[in-house]
Amino acid sequence: MTNLESTSHLQDQQTGRLTQEESAHSVPFKSICKSSTSIESINVVDIGPVSVVCDSETAGPGWTVVQRRFNGTVDFFRKWSEYRSGFGDLEGEFFMGLEKLHRMTNSVHCELYIKLVDFHNVVRYAHYDNFSIGSEEEHYMLKSLGTYSGDAGDALSYNLYDSFTTYDRDNDAWSSGNCANHYHSGWWYNSFGNSNLNGKYLDREKHDEKSIWWYSWKGYKSLKSVQIMIRPI
């Protein structure tokens, strides 16, 4: 019941945790991820109850996991509609979905935390204190990042104000190709990218532009795992 394409039963069970005042169409995103790492239910503006993964261990309490990669069991080379709605397994690898992410980050001020792990088990992070993305009409543009902090380097600000691109929806600035096809991913690109966290999962470190990489840390070398999280401030 954890697959993102079939979570309605889980959501129905968890809806009872939400108060009547928390109308599905008017409540700003607020985290209930206070003291556990678990699957919980939150209300998302204009969507309603949504099952999410909470993480209160990686960077303190209150984080909602947007994306998680660690073993390659889920293919992230997906079409636009799948990135819009979300895909994967909440107990494994998954992507929350751009529409939910847009609604959540535009209903309240959010921060962004990206945890990166290489194949030597070295852990780095990138933090941005004012994260939001645009609507589908704006191609889920990377609308705001705020100030960077961390030890992985800032590999995302280059693509601020860039649109999200998939292999079937070319919104990048590369006139002679499609960055999502080139990088085997769906991500925010200009004429190229500085990160590729939805790229192809490799089981070893390798210089590969189609893999999962964060250029300001290890260039195009593939990473072992990544987790993207947001938290309302």
**Domain layout of the chain by residue ranges:** 8-154+223-232
> What is the average per-residue pLDDT within 15-31?
46
Q: Is the pLDDT of residue 224 over 80?
A: yes
pLDDT given for residue 37 in this prediction? 80
**Token pair 């994306």: residue:** 67
pLDDT, tens digit, 9 for 90 and up, residues 171-181: 999 999 999 99
The predicted model gives 18-46 an average pLDDT of 65
Which tops the pLDDT comparison, 29 or 150?
150
pLDDT at 35: 64
pLDDT of residue 71: 98
Q: Where are the alpha helices (DSSP H) in 108-158?
A: none
pLDDT, tens digit, for every residue of 172-222?
999 999 999 999 999 999 999 999 999 999 999 999 999 999 999 999 999
Contact 152, 128 (CB under 8 A): no
Q: What digits encode the pLDDT tens for the residues 149-178?
A: 999 999 999 999 999 999 999 999 999 999
CATH number of 8-154+223-232: 3.90.215.10
Q: Are 107 and 131 in contact (CB under 8 A)?
A: no
CA 205 to chain centre: 22
Q: How open is the CA angle 122-123-129, to the nearest 5 degrees?
A: 155
pLDDT at residue 30, as a whole number: 66
Q: Which residue has the tokens 């860039």?
A: 162
Q: What DSSP string runs through 65-100? A: EEEEESSS-S-----HHHHHH-EEBTTSSEE--HHH
Residue 78 near residue 189, CB atoms below 8 Å: no
Residue 93 has pLDDT above 80, yes or no: yes
Q: Identify the helix (H) or strand (E) that includes residue 53.
A: strand 48-55
